[in-house]
Amino acid sequence: MGKSAPIIGVCAALLTSSGAQAYDDAAIYPAAQCAAFWLGFNDYAKRSPFLDSSPDDLNRSNAFRSVAVRLAPARVAEIDRTIQDQRSAMALLAEAVIYANDKQSRKVFETLTQTCESFASKHPETRDLK
């Protein structure tokens, strides 16, 4: 099994957490998940020989969190918990794509980045992100 077993588990967890039920809750998916994605990506960048950590990643994460909080102001603790719960999985996803060149992970990564970009274009907090 080697390295691919944990990667497949991460991909399955990410797909499950962003499944049909989550589509009814934009504060969690995609807003909080996109916030977690950028934090995790930055975490991986800090330890990767292939990437440089960027404050832009943290700004993106904070912007998506702001959208989530605006959409569900009574659920800030849940939003923050979701972001922290998924942060390490997102770092593993980035590693699987960038370091291991895992095809399944790349598909999840690309779907998530497209979802985040599309979602970002509809919200003032994220509309001007680069």
Domain presence at residue 128 = no
**pTM for this model (two decimals):** 0.84
Spell out a b/e string for 85-112, using b for 16 or more CB atoms within 10 Å of the CB, else e: ebbebbbbbbbbbbeeebebbbebbeeb
Domain presence at residue 125 = no
CA-wise closest residue to 97 among 89, 107, 87: 107
Domain that holds residue 81: 4-120
Residue 68 and residue 84 in contact, taking contact as beta carbons nearer than 8 Å:
no
> Number of structural domains, the chain?
1
What is the per-residue pLDDT across 98-128, written as a single tens digit (0 to 9) for each? 999 999 999 999 999 999 999 999 999 999 9
Residue 86 and residue 17 in contact, taking contact as beta carbons nearer than 8 Å:
yes
Domain presence at residue 127 = no
For 8, the token pair is: 């497949």
Domain presence at residue 130 = no
What is the per-residue pLDDT across 2-36, written as a single tens digit (0 to 9) for each? 454 455 555 545 554 544 344 579 999 999 999 99
